[in-house]
């Protein structure tokens, strides 16, 4: 039966109000995790667009016009936490806020992202930055028709690296075992590839300002962060985990086009974070959200006991 949009919003906001403590607890747990995947996608918020237009019309200092939805996927052991943040802040700023919750005695987390500047945080020395090798490969697949021989050399080498990564997953290797496997099988390939890239540029076989030269420079400029998987146990090889997670928000953007206000964007971020985390944990999100509403006071008192993977313990009869 038809339900007025105002009624739908009222119900949605009430659910988010019950899920808010869990969202904050998930942020704390994500800050303690060993690996965090990070990325952005565009967003549209009508209230922010209006503010930008009014500022431009009045001649005021121009505010930041960009609007983003940040996705953070944190892995801690068998737990995976998905967090979303929609607003003016980009991925680096949102990650900065989350990492303020990290306990001081914990070592630096591994942060996987692409090499865009919006992903950098205030203190890059506080993390182990790892960049996505799939992004590096993509720069060559995009120009392969123009430079087939040169691009094929790079693509083939990187494809072999990804095959090695698939082997480590199939064998269920530990982080240390995976590191040793890559050092033995992938390390020599990457070393030879780097020498070849430097030689092509150094001998002027490749024009540095061409699209091919820029693709070469991308790999060489970010070589250290692109090859963290050869030095750091558990360092990811690509950023596909968070890119898949962001498809939820991209689908929502295509279906609804925009948020009305920053508050509605926040409500959507809270609920999507909870639902996506439930999906990763194999939990029925509908049953979980119903339980949060039925036990709202208990959730606010102790949100750590009402996470998607342990809330059923609170429902069991004493």
Per-residue model confidence as pLDDT tens digits over 174-200? 999 999 999 999 999 999 999 999 999
CB 126 within 8 A of CB 99: yes
* Structural tokens at position 165: 């990564």
* Distances, alpha carbon 171 to alpha carbons 59, 144, 216, 236, 265, in Å: 61, 33, 33, 16, 42
Say how far apart CA 175 and CA 165 lie, in whole Å.
12
Output the pLDDT for position 108: 96
Buried b (16+ CB within 10 A) or exposed e, 61-96: eeeeeebbbbbbbbbeeebbbbbbbbbbbbbbbbbe
Contacting residues for 43 by C-beta, under 8 A, at least 6 apart: 67, 68, 69, 86, 87, 249, 253, 259, 265
Identify whether residues 77 and 162 lie together within a single domain. no
Identify the band that residue 15 occupies on the pLDDT scale cut at 50, 70 and 90: very high
Identify whether residues 215 and 155 lie together within a single domain. yes
Identify the band that residue 61 occupies on the pLDDT scale cut at 50, 70 and 90: confident
pLDDT at 47 over 90: yes
On whether residue 1 sits in a domain, the answer given is no
Identify whether residues 126 and 142 lie together within a single domain. no
Structural domain span for residue 146: 133-230
- Predicted TM-score of the model (pTM): 0.93
pLDDT at 304 over 70: yes
CB 275 within 8 A of CB 149: no
On whether residue 202 sits in a domain, the answer given is yes
Identify whether residues 22 and 147 lie together within a single domain. no
Identify whether residues 114 and 15 lie together within a single domain. yes
CB-count burial class (<10 Å; 0-12, 13-18, 19+) for 214? middle
Identify whether residues 247 and 116 lie together within a single domain. yes
Taking residues 100-114, what's their average pLDDT?
95
What is the torsion angle, in degrees rounded to the nearest 10, for the CA atoms of residue 260, residue 263, residue 264 and residue 266? 130
Among residues 162, 197, 230, the one where a domain terminates is: 230
Which of 75-84, 126-135, 157-166 is the least confident region?
75-84
Identify the band that residue 315 occupies on the pLDDT scale cut at 50, 70 and 90: confident
Identify whether residues 19 and 121 lie together within a single domain. yes
230 or 55: which leads in pLDDT: 230
pLDDT at 76 over 80: no
Among residues 186, 201, 230, the one where a domain terminates is: 230
* Distances, alpha carbon 117 to alpha carbons 7, 131, 236, 242, in Å: 41, 12, 19, 17
Identify whether residues 153 and 183 lie together within a single domain. yes
CB 246 within 8 A of CB 41: yes
CB 68 within 8 A of CB 43: yes
Identify whether residues 123 and 249 lie together within a single domain. yes
CB 18 within 8 A of CB 293: yes
Chain segment 261-283, per-residue pLDDT in tens: 999 999 999 999 999 999 999 99
On whether residue 218 sits in a domain, the answer given is yes
pLDDT at 58 over 90: no
Domain count, the chain: 2
Longest dimension (CA), the chain: 76
CB atoms within 10 A of CB 20: 19
pLDDT at 318 over 70: no
Output the pLDDT for position 32: 95
Output the pLDDT for position 57: 87
Output the pLDDT for position 127: 96
Identify whether residues 107 and 191 lie together within a single domain. no
Q: Please give the share of the chain, as a percent, with pLDDT higher than 90.
A: 86
Taking residues 66-92, what's their average pLDDT?
93
On whether residue 145 sits in a domain, the answer given is yes
Strand-strand pairing, 35-42 and 68-76 = antiparallel
Taking residues 85-96, what's their average pLDDT?
95
On whether residue 221 sits in a domain, the answer given is yes
Identify whether residues 186 and 199 lie together within a single domain. yes
On whether residue 112 sits in a domain, the answer given is yes
Among residues 230, 262, 295, the one where a domain terminates is: 230
Taking residues 211-225, what's their average pLDDT?
96
Identify whether residues 284 and 213 lie together within a single domain. no
CB-count burial class (<10 Å; 0-12, 13-18, 19+) for 216? buried
For the chain, the average pLDDT equals 94
């Amino acid at each position: 039966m038809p339900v007025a949009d105002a009624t739908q919003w009222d119900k949605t906001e009430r659910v988010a109000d019950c899920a808010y403590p869990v969202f904050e607890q998930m942020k704390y747990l994500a800050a303690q995790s060993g690996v965090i995947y990070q990325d952005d996608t565009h967003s549209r918020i009508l209230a922010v667009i209006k503010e930008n237009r009014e500022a431009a019309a009045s001649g005021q200092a121009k505010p930041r016009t960009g609007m983003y939805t940040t996705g953070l996927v944190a892995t801690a052991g068998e737990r995976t936490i998905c967090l979303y943040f929609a607003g003016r802040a980009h991925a680096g700023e949102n990650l900065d806020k989350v990492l303020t919750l990290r306990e001081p005695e914990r070592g630096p987390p591994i942060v996987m992202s692409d090499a865009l500047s919006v992903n950098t945080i205030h203190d890059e020395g506080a993390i182990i930055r790892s960049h996505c090798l799939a992004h590096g490969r993509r720069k060559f697949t995009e120009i392969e028709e123009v430079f087939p021989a040169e691009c094929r050399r790079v693509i083939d080498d990187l494809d072999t690296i990804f095959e090695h990564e698939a082997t480590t997953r199939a064998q269920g290797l530990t982080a240390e075992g995976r590191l040793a496997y890559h050092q033995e099988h992938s390390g020599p390939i990457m070393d030879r590839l780097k020498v070849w890239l430097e030689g092509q540029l150094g001998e002027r076989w490749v024009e540095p300002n061409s699209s091919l030269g820029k693709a070469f420079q991308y790999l060489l400029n970010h070589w250290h962060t692109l090859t963290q998987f050869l030095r750091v146990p558990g360092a990811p090889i690509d950023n596909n985990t968070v890119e898949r997670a962001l498809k939820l928000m991209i689908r929502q953007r295509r279906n609804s086009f925009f948020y009305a206000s920053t508050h509605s964007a926040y409500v959507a971020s809270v609920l999507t974070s909870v639902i996506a985390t439930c999906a990763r944990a194999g939990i029925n999100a509908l049953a979980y959200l119903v339980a949060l509403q039925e036990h709202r006071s208990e959730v606010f008192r102790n949100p750590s006991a009402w996470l998607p993977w342990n809330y059923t313990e609170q429902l069991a009869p004493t």
